[in-house]
Amino acid sequence: MAKNILIFCAHSDDESLGMGGTIAKYVAEGKNVIVVIFSYGEASLPHLKPGYVKEIRLKEIEEASKLLGTQEAIFLGLPDAKLKEYEGSREVITKVRKIIRKYNPEKIFTHSQTDPHHPGDHKAVHNIVTKAVKGIKKEYDLFNFEVWNIFPENRPVMYVDISKYFKKKIKAISIFKSQWFSILLTIIPIYIRAKKFGLKAGYKYAEKFYKIR
């Protein structure tokens, strides 16, 4: 039976930016990758109507999912740029907990607590997922991925060899054309980090994750 991998992220490009190579690798290994996205990212293009932005971003994640091979993208439909308001929501935490129990994943990935993303959506998702996991008797392996992180964390590290999948990661990121400005800011750091992590781990390219539990 194929093992499941669960990824929780704030917006529908974070999974590709933070761990697109690892997603492609897990899929190639026969694992089912499920991405849970907290918002539709409707506030990312304030000059356009939220419904239109939602439509664009749904099409982008559908195309990126096909490329990377993810099994499913689940949207929770929470308001973009306001996820901090739901950190203490029992309803949202319970919903996340139900998803974890349903898929019983081998590993869970989410944003880092130190991600400086404004207005704090990434950190909010981290806090919600951490609370949900702590409320489950079974101890799941929980990891952070990096998007906007600058400084390292004092946690155990897991490196994943993405040498065969780095080009696919970049291709997946390029699908999110609506987010061109953010991608422009992150694409060079993504190359640098992948190369740096690869050198540390003995690979051409690698992605780094911090183990939370």
Q: Is the pLDDT of residue 150 over 80?
A: no
Parent domain of 94 = 4-211
* % of the chain at pLDDT higher than 70: 100
Sign of the C-alpha dihedral, residues 39, 180, 16, 56?
A: positive
Q: Residue 62 maps to which CATH number?
A: 3.40.50.10320
Encode pLDDT of 177-209 as tens digits.
999 888 888 899 999 999 999 999 999 999 999
What pLDDT score does 118 carry? 85
What pLDDT score does 98 carry? 98
Encode pLDDT of 24-80 as tens digits.
999 999 999 999 999 999 988 888 898 999 999 999 999 999 999 999 999 999 999
Backbone angles phi, psi at 144, to 5 degrees: -95, 140
Nearest in space to 172 (alpha carbons), one of 68, 23, 37: 68
Cβ-Cβ contacts under 8 Å for 189 (sequence gap 6 or more): none
Q: CA 9 to CA 74: how far, in whole Å?
A: 10
Into how many domains does the chain fold? 1
